[in-house]
Amino acid sequence: MSASAVFVLDLKGKPLISRNYKGDVSMAEIDHFMPLLMQKEEEGALTPLLTHGKVHFLWIKHTNLYLVATTMKNANASLVYSFLYKVVEVFSEYFKELEEESIRDNFVVIYELLDELMDFGFPQTTDSKILQEYITQQGNKLETGKSHVPPTVTNAVSWRSEGIKYKKNEVFIDVIESVNLLVNTNGSVLLSEIVGTIKLKTFLSGMPELRLGLNDRMLFELTGRGKNKSVELEDVKFHQCVRLSRFDNDRTISFIPPDGDFELMSYRLNTQVKPLIWIESVIEKFSHSRVEIMVKGGKEFLMRAHFGLPSVEKEEVEGRPPIAVRFEIPYFTVSGIQVRYMKIIEKSGYQALPWVRYITQSGDYQLRTQ
């Protein structure tokens, strides 16, 4: 089971807009949400799911808004939370900034979106590109004369329209890896993780089928190439266009892509990563009114900073915060993941060019100071 109703509340808990999908939970139940949330917050026992009587509140916070789904049944919580985050994503696509003011300014469009996003408590059309084909951003000027349903809503491939044409057919593939790293003061790595995404930008005519090949360790083992350089992917998450049954059978990533930009997949590698960028820092204090900080990065950069301070008599007791590092390294991935091939198959037989770019960037990359 899924959600009975969805509410958007301001910071005081006042409903700005709501949609009752099933009618089995009183809409007045939302009045209990904010007092319950404040009570749990004061007790230090705040959770993403709150319960009042037989009613469950599944909620998320975004800027100055609360998005809340109610249910009395044993709902699929992960489905409901995924839907709430998808609502945030779709609304942000429409209004750029999702906040209280944008909700108040776009009631008509939001009601239209809520009707299409969910039906009888179950997620329906959640792709913003498809929604934008028939729900415009003109507010009161919405076109009401068009009664036909866009083909993409009823097609088996709901994320791509038919009849797309380009003079030049191309696919741009970005493999982006973010490194999360925590290093203690003696140089030992306390935590390391790689979070990767593969993003595509497609300019392809017709209804092509794409097949993406990676140096996936499980695939190499299945095909007897276990000794080749490969990567063991964990927590893999795909866009809805990927044929999951085929991936489960033979690890082939086969899909009919949406038009334009989209995230094809994400993955995680919980592996030991050597620090890509190393920083040494020394903090010295001088009598009452001066602090000197020296930061050394590898053999190339040295920064020395002096801070003139008001007279300070008391020594700091608190620990020093870690140094957060931001960087981006092109043409490189930490994990060694590679795009081995991208096959593009379309009934007209046209030739298309795939382009691949690799980027490694900092995620939560911190080095503790002495």
**Could you read off the pLDDT of 15-38 as tens digits, one per residue?**
999 999 999 999 999 999 999 999
- Mean pLDDT for the stretch of residues 1-28: 93
Question: What is the C-alpha separation between 328 and 186, in angstroms, rounded?
Answer: 25
Q: Which of 5-19, 303-317, 342-356 has the lowest mean pLDDT?
A: 303-317
Q: Which of 103-107, 311-315, 320-324 has the lowest mean pLDDT?
A: 311-315
Instruction: For 62-104, write each residue's pLDDT tens digit.
Output: 999 999 999 998 889 999 999 999 999 999 989 888 999 999 9
State residue 283's pLDDT score: 72
More confident residue, 219 or 251: 251
Q: What percent of the chain has pLDDT over 70?
A: 83
Q: Which residues pair with 200 in a beta bridge?
A: 173, 262
Instruction: For 203-224, write each residue's pLDDT tens digit.
Output: 999 999 999 999 888 777 777 6
Whether the pLDDT of residue 151 is over 80: the answer is: no
**Collapsing DSSP states into helix, strand and coil, what is residue 64?**
coil
The confidence band for 52, taking pLDDT boundaries of 50, 70 and 90, is very high
**Collapsing DSSP states into helix, strand and coil, what is residue 9?**
strand
Q: Which of 173-182, 251-260, 281-290, 328-337 has the lowest mean pLDDT?
A: 281-290
State residue 147's pLDDT score: 46
pTM: 0.69
State residue 180's pLDDT score: 95
User: CB of 182 within 8 A of CB of 366?
Assistant: yes
The confidence band for 141, taking pLDDT boundaries of 50, 70 and 90, is very low
State residue 143's pLDDT score: 41
User: CB of 256 within 8 A of CB of 209?
Assistant: yes
User: CB of 267 within 8 A of CB of 287?
Assistant: no
State residue 230's pLDDT score: 83
Instruction: For 273-319, write each residue's pLDDT tens digit.
Output: 888 888 877 777 666 666 666 666 655 666 666 666 666 555 555 56
Question: What is the C-alpha separation between 230 and 225, in angstroms, rounded?
Answer: 9
Nearest one of 42, 33, 40 to 13, comparing CA atoms: 33
Within 10 angstroms of residue 187's Cβ, the number of other Cβ atoms is 11
Strands, E assignment, the chain:
5-9, 15-20, 49-52, 55-62, 65-71, 118-119, 122-123, 170-183, 189-203, 209-214, 234-238, 253-255, 260-269, 279-286, 290-297, 301-308, 323-324, 328-330, 339-345, 353-367
Question: What is the C-alpha separation between 79 and 77, in angstroms, rounded?
Answer: 5
Lookup: tokens for 239: 């866009």
State residue 330's pLDDT score: 94
The one-letter amino acid code at 291 reads: V
More confident residue, 230 or 168: 168
